[in-house]
Amino acid sequence: MIPNTARRLGKWLSSALLLPLSLTACEGGKDKPAQPAQDKPAASAAVAPAPGDTAIKEKPPAVANAEAAKKFKGVKITYYGDAVGINAELDKVMTKKFTEDTGIVVNVVPRPKDSTESYAAYQRLFQAESADVDVVMLDVIWPGAFAQHLLDLGPALGEAAKQHVESLVKNNQVDGKLVAIPWYTDFGMLYYRTDLLQKHGFSKPPETWDELEQMAKKIQDGEKPQNANFTGFVWQGKAYEGLSCNALEWVFSHGGGSLIEDKKATLNNPQAIKALNRARGWIGGISPAGVTGYEEEDARNAFQSGNAAFMRNWPYAYSAGNADKSPIKGKFDVAPLPHEPGQKSAGTVGGWQLGVSRFSKNQEAAIELVRYLAGPEGQKFRAVVGSSIPTIASVQQDPDVVKAMPFLAKVKDVSLVPRPSNTTGARYNEASIAFFQGVSEVLQGKDAKDVLPQVEQRLGRVLR
Protein backbone atom coordinates (compact mmCIF):
# COMPACT_ATOMS: atom_id res chain seq x y z
CA MET A 1 0.00 0.00 0.00
CA ILE A 2 1.46 3.31 -1.10
CA PRO A 3 0.28 6.45 0.73
CA ASN A 4 -0.85 9.49 -1.20
CA THR A 5 1.91 11.57 0.41
CA ALA A 6 4.61 9.81 -1.61
CA ARG A 7 5.47 11.26 -5.01
CA ARG A 8 7.94 10.49 -7.75
CA LEU A 9 11.28 12.26 -7.51
CA GLY A 10 11.16 13.03 -11.21
CA LYS A 11 8.10 15.19 -10.67
CA TRP A 12 9.78 16.67 -7.60
CA LEU A 13 12.87 17.70 -9.54
CA SER A 14 11.02 18.91 -12.61
CA SER A 15 8.86 21.08 -10.36
CA ALA A 16 11.90 22.72 -8.80
CA LEU A 17 12.11 20.11 -6.05
CA LEU A 18 8.57 20.86 -4.98
CA LEU A 19 8.22 18.61 -1.95
CA PRO A 20 4.85 16.85 -1.74
CA LEU A 21 4.26 17.63 1.90
CA SER A 22 3.37 20.33 4.31
CA LEU A 23 5.44 19.23 7.26
CA THR A 24 4.56 20.21 10.78
CA ALA A 25 7.56 19.76 12.99
CA CYS A 26 8.21 17.72 16.07
CA GLU A 27 8.30 18.11 19.79
CA GLY A 28 7.95 15.69 22.67
CA GLY A 29 10.99 15.73 24.92
CA LYS A 30 8.77 14.02 27.49
CA ASP A 31 9.69 10.63 26.08
CA LYS A 32 13.48 10.86 26.11
CA PRO A 33 14.83 7.80 24.29
CA ALA A 34 16.43 5.18 26.45
CA GLN A 35 19.21 3.97 24.23
CA PRO A 36 19.36 0.19 24.08
CA ALA A 37 22.66 -1.52 24.62
CA GLN A 38 24.62 -1.10 21.42
CA ASP A 39 27.41 -3.00 19.85
CA LYS A 40 30.21 -0.52 19.25
CA PRO A 41 31.06 -0.07 15.60
CA ALA A 42 33.16 -3.06 14.73
CA ALA A 43 36.86 -2.55 14.24
CA SER A 44 36.16 -3.71 10.73
CA ALA A 45 34.72 -0.57 9.31
CA ALA A 46 34.17 2.70 11.01
CA VAL A 47 36.66 3.32 13.77
CA ALA A 48 38.64 5.96 11.87
CA PRO A 49 37.81 8.81 9.49
CA ALA A 50 37.82 7.83 5.85
CA PRO A 51 41.02 8.62 3.96
CA GLY A 52 40.57 11.33 1.38
CA ASP A 53 38.78 13.74 3.69
CA THR A 54 40.72 16.92 3.04
CA ALA A 55 40.20 20.60 3.66
CA ILE A 56 38.04 22.35 1.08
CA LYS A 57 40.21 23.96 -1.59
CA GLU A 58 37.50 25.85 -3.43
CA LYS A 59 37.06 29.49 -2.45
CA PRO A 60 33.66 30.39 -1.02
CA PRO A 61 31.67 33.10 -2.78
CA ALA A 62 31.93 36.74 -1.83
CA VAL A 63 29.28 37.97 0.58
CA ALA A 64 26.72 39.68 -1.64
CA ASN A 65 25.16 41.45 1.34
CA ALA A 66 28.52 42.59 2.74
CA GLU A 67 27.85 46.33 2.49
CA ALA A 68 24.63 46.08 4.47
CA ALA A 69 26.25 43.75 7.00
CA LYS A 70 29.32 45.91 7.62
CA LYS A 71 27.31 48.19 9.89
CA PHE A 72 27.54 45.33 12.41
CA LYS A 73 31.33 45.05 12.16
CA GLY A 74 32.84 43.82 15.42
CA VAL A 75 29.65 42.13 16.58
CA LYS A 76 30.15 38.53 17.72
CA ILE A 77 27.54 35.88 16.98
CA THR A 78 27.38 32.14 17.63
CA TYR A 79 26.15 29.74 14.98
CA TYR A 80 25.01 26.26 16.00
CA GLY A 81 26.17 24.54 12.81
CA ASP A 82 26.75 21.20 11.18
CA ALA A 83 28.95 18.44 12.51
CA VAL A 84 28.57 15.86 9.75
CA GLY A 85 31.25 15.30 7.11
CA ILE A 86 31.93 17.94 4.50
CA ASN A 87 28.99 20.00 5.76
CA ALA A 88 30.99 20.88 8.87
CA GLU A 89 33.92 22.01 6.70
CA LEU A 90 31.59 24.08 4.53
CA ASP A 91 30.31 25.88 7.61
CA LYS A 92 33.87 26.74 8.64
CA VAL A 93 35.04 28.14 5.31
CA MET A 94 31.82 30.04 4.62
CA THR A 95 31.63 31.66 8.05
CA LYS A 96 35.31 32.59 7.77
CA LYS A 97 34.60 34.30 4.44
CA PHE A 98 31.59 36.03 6.00
CA THR A 99 33.79 37.42 8.76
CA GLU A 100 36.44 38.58 6.27
CA ASP A 101 33.89 40.43 4.14
CA THR A 102 31.71 41.91 6.90
CA GLY A 103 33.74 42.13 10.09
CA ILE A 104 31.06 40.17 11.95
CA VAL A 105 32.82 37.54 14.05
CA VAL A 106 31.17 34.10 13.86
CA ASN A 107 31.78 31.42 16.47
CA VAL A 108 30.80 28.08 14.93
CA VAL A 109 29.67 25.48 17.46
CA PRO A 110 28.98 22.08 15.83
CA ARG A 111 25.68 20.57 16.90
CA PRO A 112 25.64 16.92 18.06
CA LYS A 113 25.89 14.57 15.08
CA ASP A 114 22.94 12.61 16.45
CA SER A 115 19.88 14.60 15.39
CA THR A 116 17.89 13.28 18.36
CA GLU A 117 20.56 14.70 20.68
CA SER A 118 20.52 17.95 18.69
CA TYR A 119 16.80 18.25 19.28
CA ALA A 120 17.28 17.80 23.02
CA ALA A 121 20.09 20.37 23.05
CA TYR A 122 17.84 22.90 21.32
CA GLN A 123 15.11 22.24 23.87
CA ARG A 124 17.52 23.00 26.71
CA LEU A 125 18.80 26.20 25.06
CA PHE A 126 15.37 27.56 24.29
CA GLN A 127 13.77 26.59 27.59
CA ALA A 128 16.57 28.49 29.34
CA GLU A 129 15.95 31.46 27.00
CA SER A 130 19.69 31.39 26.39
CA ALA A 131 21.33 34.16 24.39
CA ASP A 132 24.40 31.97 23.88
CA VAL A 133 23.30 30.92 20.38
CA ASP A 134 22.20 33.28 17.62
CA VAL A 135 21.80 31.19 14.44
CA VAL A 136 20.58 27.58 14.43
CA MET A 137 20.24 24.90 11.76
CA LEU A 138 16.90 23.11 11.92
CA ASP A 139 15.78 19.74 10.59
CA VAL A 140 12.88 20.00 8.16
CA ILE A 141 10.59 18.53 10.84
CA TRP A 142 11.52 21.01 13.60
CA PRO A 143 10.29 24.53 12.71
CA GLY A 144 6.83 24.05 14.21
CA ALA A 145 8.21 22.66 17.45
CA PHE A 146 10.58 25.56 18.01
CA ALA A 147 8.58 28.34 16.36
CA GLN A 148 7.84 30.17 19.60
CA HIS A 149 11.59 30.49 20.23
CA LEU A 150 12.54 31.68 16.74
CA LEU A 151 12.59 35.17 15.29
CA ASP A 152 10.09 36.02 12.56
CA LEU A 153 12.33 36.41 9.50
CA GLY A 154 9.51 37.64 7.29
CA PRO A 155 10.22 41.38 7.61
CA ALA A 156 13.91 40.93 6.73
CA LEU A 157 13.95 37.89 4.45
CA GLY A 158 10.38 37.53 3.20
CA GLU A 159 11.26 38.81 -0.27
CA ALA A 160 14.33 36.53 -0.50
CA ALA A 161 12.18 33.59 0.59
CA LYS A 162 10.22 33.85 -2.67
CA GLN A 163 13.21 32.32 -4.50
CA HIS A 164 12.87 29.06 -2.56
CA VAL A 165 10.65 26.04 -3.15
CA GLU A 166 7.21 27.18 -2.05
CA SER A 167 6.33 24.06 -0.05
CA LEU A 168 9.53 24.38 1.99
CA VAL A 169 8.79 28.03 2.73
CA LYS A 170 5.29 27.05 3.84
CA ASN A 171 6.82 24.34 6.02
CA ASN A 172 8.74 27.10 7.81
CA GLN A 173 5.76 29.41 8.28
CA VAL A 174 4.03 28.98 11.61
CA ASP A 175 1.03 31.12 12.58
CA GLY A 176 1.84 33.52 9.77
CA LYS A 177 5.48 33.94 10.78
CA LEU A 178 8.50 32.83 8.75
CA VAL A 179 10.57 31.17 11.48
CA ALA A 180 13.26 29.66 9.24
CA ILE A 181 14.71 29.88 5.73
CA PRO A 182 15.18 26.72 3.59
CA TRP A 183 18.85 25.85 3.23
CA TYR A 184 19.23 22.47 1.52
CA THR A 185 17.21 19.30 1.08
CA ASP A 186 18.01 15.60 0.67
CA PHE A 187 16.73 12.00 0.71
CA GLY A 188 18.09 8.48 1.23
CA MET A 189 20.03 6.81 -1.61
CA LEU A 190 21.99 3.60 -2.29
CA TYR A 191 25.73 3.97 -2.90
CA TYR A 192 27.54 1.07 -4.56
CA ARG A 193 31.05 0.18 -5.70
CA THR A 194 31.00 0.00 -9.49
CA ASP A 195 34.42 -1.66 -9.69
CA LEU A 196 33.49 -4.43 -7.28
CA LEU A 197 30.18 -5.14 -8.98
CA GLN A 198 32.01 -5.59 -12.26
CA LYS A 199 34.76 -7.66 -10.65
CA HIS A 200 32.24 -10.10 -9.21
CA GLY A 201 30.11 -10.44 -12.32
CA PHE A 202 27.32 -7.90 -11.85
CA SER A 203 26.39 -5.48 -14.62
CA LYS A 204 24.07 -3.16 -12.70
CA PRO A 205 23.12 -2.26 -9.12
CA PRO A 206 20.41 -4.21 -7.29
CA GLU A 207 16.79 -3.27 -7.81
CA THR A 208 15.26 -5.54 -5.15
CA TRP A 209 16.28 -6.32 -1.59
CA ASP A 210 16.83 -9.96 -2.56
CA GLU A 211 19.28 -8.84 -5.23
CA LEU A 212 21.11 -6.58 -2.80
CA GLU A 213 21.49 -9.42 -0.30
CA GLN A 214 22.79 -11.81 -2.95
CA MET A 215 25.21 -9.29 -4.42
CA ALA A 216 26.45 -8.05 -1.05
CA LYS A 217 27.13 -11.60 0.13
CA LYS A 218 28.98 -12.62 -3.02
CA ILE A 219 31.14 -9.50 -3.02
CA GLN A 220 31.78 -9.76 0.71
CA ASP A 221 32.79 -13.41 0.44
CA GLY A 222 35.13 -12.56 -2.42
CA GLU A 223 36.77 -9.53 -0.77
CA LYS A 224 37.06 -10.66 2.85
CA PRO A 225 40.03 -13.01 2.32
CA GLN A 226 42.11 -9.99 1.25
CA ASN A 227 40.43 -7.48 3.59
CA ALA A 228 39.21 -8.80 6.92
CA ASN A 229 37.42 -5.50 7.55
CA PHE A 230 35.26 -5.77 4.44
CA THR A 231 31.47 -5.92 4.73
CA GLY A 232 28.58 -6.01 2.29
CA PHE A 233 26.16 -3.27 3.34
CA VAL A 234 26.36 -0.40 5.82
CA TRP A 235 23.58 1.90 6.99
CA GLN A 236 22.43 3.87 10.04
CA GLY A 237 21.37 1.40 12.74
CA LYS A 238 21.80 3.35 15.97
CA ALA A 239 18.59 4.07 17.90
CA TYR A 240 18.07 7.69 16.82
CA GLU A 241 16.26 9.71 14.14
CA GLY A 242 18.49 8.26 11.43
CA LEU A 243 17.13 4.79 12.16
CA SER A 244 13.59 6.10 11.73
CA CYS A 245 14.61 7.34 8.28
CA ASN A 246 16.21 4.02 7.29
CA ALA A 247 13.38 1.90 8.66
CA LEU A 248 10.71 4.03 6.99
CA GLU A 249 12.41 3.29 3.66
CA TRP A 250 12.48 -0.45 4.40
CA VAL A 251 8.81 -0.54 5.39
CA PHE A 252 7.55 1.60 2.51
CA SER A 253 9.58 -0.29 -0.10
CA HIS A 254 8.06 -3.57 1.13
CA GLY A 255 4.53 -2.20 0.69
CA GLY A 256 4.04 -1.59 4.41
CA GLY A 257 3.01 2.05 4.12
CA SER A 258 4.37 5.06 5.97
CA LEU A 259 3.59 4.36 9.66
CA ILE A 260 0.57 6.64 9.88
CA GLU A 261 -2.11 6.97 7.20
CA ASP A 262 -5.47 8.71 7.32
CA LYS A 263 -4.55 9.79 10.85
CA LYS A 264 -4.30 6.16 11.98
CA ALA A 265 -1.24 4.15 13.00
CA THR A 266 -0.78 1.40 10.39
CA LEU A 267 2.65 0.00 11.18
CA ASN A 268 1.59 -3.42 12.44
CA ASN A 269 1.14 -5.19 9.10
CA PRO A 270 2.75 -8.24 7.43
CA GLN A 271 4.82 -6.17 5.00
CA ALA A 272 6.34 -4.05 7.78
CA ILE A 273 7.06 -7.17 9.82
CA LYS A 274 8.83 -8.72 6.85
CA ALA A 275 10.86 -5.56 6.22
CA LEU A 276 12.16 -5.23 9.77
CA ASN A 277 12.87 -8.92 10.21
CA ARG A 278 14.79 -8.81 6.95
CA ALA A 279 16.97 -5.97 8.28
CA ARG A 280 17.60 -7.92 11.48
CA GLY A 281 18.90 -10.76 9.32
CA TRP A 282 21.56 -8.52 7.78
CA ILE A 283 23.32 -7.98 11.09
CA GLY A 284 26.32 -10.25 11.46
CA GLY A 285 25.82 -11.32 7.85
CA ILE A 286 26.09 -8.76 5.07
CA SER A 287 26.23 -5.98 7.68
CA PRO A 288 28.67 -5.82 10.60
CA ALA A 289 27.39 -6.51 14.11
CA GLY A 290 28.39 -2.98 15.05
CA VAL A 291 26.00 -1.42 12.54
CA THR A 292 23.50 -1.07 15.41
CA GLY A 293 25.74 1.75 16.61
CA TYR A 294 26.25 3.44 13.25
CA GLU A 295 25.28 6.99 12.36
CA GLU A 296 25.81 8.62 8.96
CA GLU A 297 29.54 9.21 9.36
CA ASP A 298 30.21 5.67 10.59
CA ALA A 299 28.63 4.29 7.43
CA ARG A 300 30.42 6.79 5.21
CA ASN A 301 33.79 6.07 6.81
CA ALA A 302 33.34 2.36 6.16
CA PHE A 303 32.30 2.86 2.55
CA GLN A 304 34.82 5.56 1.68
CA SER A 305 37.65 3.57 3.29
CA GLY A 306 36.94 0.79 0.81
CA ASN A 307 35.46 -1.52 3.42
CA ALA A 308 31.90 -1.87 2.12
CA ALA A 309 30.22 -2.76 -1.17
CA PHE A 310 26.94 -0.90 -0.53
CA MET A 311 25.83 1.98 1.68
CA ARG A 312 22.61 3.79 2.46
CA ASN A 313 23.25 7.48 3.05
CA TRP A 314 22.33 11.05 2.11
CA PRO A 315 23.65 13.03 -0.90
CA TYR A 316 26.47 14.68 1.07
CA ALA A 317 28.53 11.46 0.91
CA TYR A 318 28.80 11.76 -2.89
CA SER A 319 31.22 14.69 -2.97
CA ALA A 320 33.27 13.27 -0.10
CA GLY A 321 33.68 9.96 -1.91
CA ASN A 322 34.91 11.78 -5.00
CA ALA A 323 37.50 13.88 -3.16
CA ASP A 324 40.96 13.86 -4.77
CA LYS A 325 42.55 11.51 -2.23
CA SER A 326 39.51 9.31 -1.63
CA PRO A 327 40.31 5.60 -2.11
CA ILE A 328 37.00 5.14 -3.94
CA LYS A 329 37.12 8.18 -6.23
CA GLY A 330 35.66 7.15 -9.60
CA LYS A 331 34.81 3.70 -8.24
CA PHE A 332 31.26 4.20 -7.00
CA ASP A 333 27.88 5.42 -8.11
CA VAL A 334 24.39 6.04 -6.75
CA ALA A 335 21.08 4.27 -7.37
CA PRO A 336 17.61 4.18 -5.83
CA LEU A 337 17.36 2.10 -2.68
CA PRO A 338 16.02 -1.42 -3.37
CA HIS A 339 12.39 -2.48 -3.09
CA GLU A 340 10.31 -5.61 -3.01
CA PRO A 341 9.05 -6.84 -6.42
CA GLY A 342 5.97 -4.85 -7.34
CA GLN A 343 6.75 -2.06 -4.89
CA LYS A 344 8.56 1.27 -5.24
CA SER A 345 11.99 2.48 -4.20
CA ALA A 346 11.74 4.87 -1.28
CA GLY A 347 13.83 7.76 -0.02
CA THR A 348 12.97 9.41 3.27
CA VAL A 349 12.78 13.18 2.88
CA GLY A 350 15.35 15.17 4.85
CA GLY A 351 16.77 18.65 4.71
CA TRP A 352 17.80 21.60 6.84
CA GLN A 353 16.73 25.18 7.46
CA LEU A 354 18.34 28.18 9.16
CA GLY A 355 16.72 30.20 11.93
CA VAL A 356 17.58 32.99 14.36
CA SER A 357 16.96 32.60 18.08
CA ARG A 358 14.40 34.99 19.54
CA PHE A 359 16.74 35.32 22.52
CA SER A 360 19.73 36.46 20.45
CA LYS A 361 21.13 39.85 21.45
CA ASN A 362 22.50 40.38 17.93
CA GLN A 363 19.54 39.48 15.75
CA GLU A 364 20.33 41.81 12.85
CA ALA A 365 23.89 40.50 12.47
CA ALA A 366 22.56 36.95 12.73
CA ILE A 367 20.06 37.63 9.93
CA GLU A 368 22.89 38.77 7.67
CA LEU A 369 24.70 35.44 8.19
CA VAL A 370 21.51 33.55 7.32
CA ARG A 371 21.08 35.73 4.24
CA TYR A 372 24.57 34.74 3.04
CA LEU A 373 24.49 31.03 3.86
CA ALA A 374 21.02 30.39 2.42
CA GLY A 375 21.26 32.80 -0.51
CA PRO A 376 21.84 31.79 -4.15
CA GLU A 377 25.63 32.09 -4.04
CA GLY A 378 25.89 30.18 -0.78
CA GLN A 379 23.58 27.41 -1.97
CA LYS A 380 25.47 27.03 -5.24
CA PHE A 381 28.80 26.70 -3.42
CA ARG A 382 27.33 24.13 -1.06
CA ALA A 383 25.86 22.15 -3.96
CA VAL A 384 28.99 22.11 -6.12
CA VAL A 385 31.41 21.36 -3.27
CA GLY A 386 29.23 19.36 -0.89
CA SER A 387 26.44 17.75 -2.98
CA SER A 388 23.75 19.55 -1.00
CA ILE A 389 20.53 19.80 -3.03
CA PRO A 390 19.57 23.51 -3.31
CA THR A 391 16.17 24.83 -2.31
CA ILE A 392 16.31 27.71 -4.82
CA ALA A 393 14.99 26.77 -8.27
CA SER A 394 17.44 28.90 -10.24
CA VAL A 395 20.37 27.34 -8.38
CA GLN A 396 19.11 23.82 -9.07
CA GLN A 397 19.20 24.61 -12.78
CA ASP A 398 22.65 26.21 -12.75
CA PRO A 399 24.94 24.29 -15.19
CA ASP A 400 27.70 23.99 -12.58
CA VAL A 401 25.27 22.47 -10.09
CA VAL A 402 23.85 20.03 -12.64
CA LYS A 403 27.39 18.94 -13.56
CA ALA A 404 28.39 18.47 -9.92
CA MET A 405 25.33 16.35 -9.06
CA PRO A 406 24.87 13.86 -11.94
CA PHE A 407 23.43 11.29 -9.56
CA LEU A 408 20.10 13.13 -9.35
CA ALA A 409 19.08 11.87 -12.78
CA LYS A 410 19.71 8.29 -11.64
CA VAL A 411 17.35 8.50 -8.70
CA LYS A 412 14.55 10.39 -10.44
CA ASP A 413 12.05 7.55 -9.96
CA VAL A 414 12.43 7.31 -6.19
CA SER A 415 9.24 7.75 -4.17
CA LEU A 416 9.87 10.48 -1.63
CA VAL A 417 8.44 9.48 1.73
CA PRO A 418 7.95 12.20 4.34
CA ARG A 419 8.15 11.38 8.00
CA PRO A 420 4.66 11.67 9.55
CA SER A 421 5.20 15.06 11.16
CA ASN A 422 2.21 16.49 9.31
CA THR A 423 -0.18 14.20 11.17
CA THR A 424 1.60 13.96 14.53
CA GLY A 425 2.22 17.69 14.70
CA ALA A 426 4.09 18.90 17.77
CA ARG A 427 4.30 15.31 19.03
CA TYR A 428 6.32 14.01 16.09
CA ASN A 429 9.38 13.43 18.25
CA GLU A 430 7.38 11.07 20.47
CA ALA A 431 6.24 9.15 17.40
CA SER A 432 9.76 8.86 16.02
CA ILE A 433 11.14 7.71 19.37
CA ALA A 434 8.46 5.02 19.59
CA PHE A 435 9.32 3.88 16.07
CA PHE A 436 13.11 3.79 16.29
CA GLN A 437 13.09 2.21 19.75
CA GLY A 438 10.84 -0.55 18.42
CA VAL A 439 12.98 -1.04 15.33
CA SER A 440 16.07 -1.18 17.54
CA GLU A 441 14.48 -3.98 19.58
CA VAL A 442 14.01 -5.95 16.37
CA LEU A 443 17.60 -5.32 15.29
CA GLN A 444 18.76 -6.51 18.70
CA GLY A 445 17.06 -9.87 18.11
CA LYS A 446 13.31 -9.69 18.74
CA ASP A 447 10.77 -10.78 16.13
CA ALA A 448 8.99 -7.81 14.57
CA LYS A 449 5.61 -9.50 14.99
CA ASP A 450 6.11 -9.33 18.76
CA VAL A 451 7.28 -5.71 18.73
CA LEU A 452 5.12 -3.85 16.23
CA PRO A 453 1.79 -4.22 18.07
CA GLN A 454 3.23 -2.24 21.00
CA VAL A 455 4.84 0.31 18.68
CA GLU A 456 1.55 0.82 16.87
CA GLN A 457 -0.18 1.35 20.22
CA ARG A 458 2.37 4.02 21.16
CA LEU A 459 1.87 5.71 17.80
CA GLY A 460 -1.88 5.60 18.36
CA ARG A 461 -1.50 7.36 21.71
CA VAL A 462 0.51 10.11 20.02
CA LEU A 463 -2.38 10.69 17.62
CA ARG A 464 -5.01 11.11 20.33
pLDDT tier for residue 427 given thresholds of 50, 70 and 90? confident
Reduced to 3 states (helix: H, G, I; strand: E, B; else coil), residue 115 is: helix
List the one residue out of 384, 33, 338, 13 whose CA is nearest residue 191.
338
- Burial of residue 264, with CB atoms counted within 10 A of its CB: 0-12 exposed, 13-18 middle, 19 or more buried: exposed
Q: What's the rounded mean pLDDT across residues 7-32?
A: 35
Q: What's the rounded mean pLDDT across residues 370-378?
A: 98
pLDDT of residue 25: 30
pLDDT tier for residue 48 given thresholds of 50, 70 and 90? low
Alpha carbons within 13 angstroms on the beta-carbon side of residue 81 total: 23
3-state secondary structure 136-166: EEEECCCHHHHHHHECCCHHHHHHHHCCECH
Question: What single letter denotes the amino acid at residue 226?
Answer: Q
- Among 170-174, 252-256, 442-446, 452-456, name the one with the lowest average pLDDT: 170-174
pLDDT of residue 227: 98
What is the rounded CA–CA span in Å between residue 258 and residue 29? 23
Report all structural domains of the chain as residue ranges with CATH numbers, in order of start.
Answer: 41-52+188-347+429-463 (3.40.190.10), 66-186+349-409 (3.40.190.10)
- Give Cα separations from 302 to 37, 113, 148 (angstroms): 22, 17, 40
Let me know the angle formed at the C-alpha of 339 by 191 and 387, rounded to the nearest 5 degrees: 30
| Listed ranges 9-13, 50-54, 395-399; the one with the highest mean pLDDT | 395-399
Q: What's the rounded mean pLDDT across residues 336-351?
A: 96
| pLDDT above 60: residue 46 | no
| pLDDT above 90: residue 198 | yes
pLDDT tier for residue 353 given thresholds of 50, 70 and 90? very high
Q: Which residue has the higher pLDDT, 17 or 143?
A: 143
pLDDT tier for residue 77 given thresholds of 50, 70 and 90? very high
Q: What's the rounded mean pLDDT across residues 182-201?
A: 98
- Give Cα separations from 316 to 77, 330, 405 (angstroms): 27, 16, 10
pLDDT tier for residue 220 given thresholds of 50, 70 and 90? very high
Q: What's the rounded mean pLDDT across residues 77-81?
A: 97
pLDDT of residue 51: 64
Classify strands 260-261 and 264-265 as parallel, antiparallel or unpaired. antiparallel
CA atoms 114, 117, 123, 126: torsion sign:
negative
pLDDT of residue 83: 84
Q: What's the rounded mean pLDDT across residues 362-382?
A: 98
Q: What's the rounded mean pLDDT across residues 329-333?
A: 97
Q: What's the rounded mean pLDDT across residues 335-349?
A: 97
Phi and psi of 460, rounded to 5°?
Answer: -60, -40
H helices within 267-398, ranges in order?
270-282, 296-304, 316-321, 363-373, 376-386, 393-396
pLDDT of residue 53: 59
- Among 4-8, 396-400, 402-406, name the one with the lowest average pLDDT: 4-8
Q: Which residue has the higher pLDDT, 227 or 145?
A: 227
| pLDDT above 90: residue 221 | yes
- Give Cα separations from 126 to 136, 145, 146, 274, 357 (angstroms): 11, 11, 8, 41, 8
| pLDDT above 50: residue 9 | no
Give the list of residues 6+ apart from residue 16 with CB closer than 8 angstroms, or none: 165, 393, 396
What does the pLDDT look like over 263-305, one tens digit per residue? Answer: 899 999 999 999 999 999 999 999 999 999 999 999 999 999 9
User: pTM here?
Assistant: 0.84
User: Which contiguous run of DSSP H or E holds residue 409?
Assistant: none
Percentage of residues in the chain having pLDDT higher than 70: 88
pLDDT of residue 186: 93
| pLDDT above 50: residue 318 | yes
pLDDT of residue 93: 96
Looking at every residue in the chain, the average pLDDT score rounds to 89
Percentage of residues in the chain having pLDDT higher than 90: 75
Alpha carbons within 13 angstroms on the beta-carbon side of residue 277 total: 15
List the one residue out of 100, 171, 149 whose CA is nearest residue 136.
149
| pLDDT above 60: residue 443 | yes
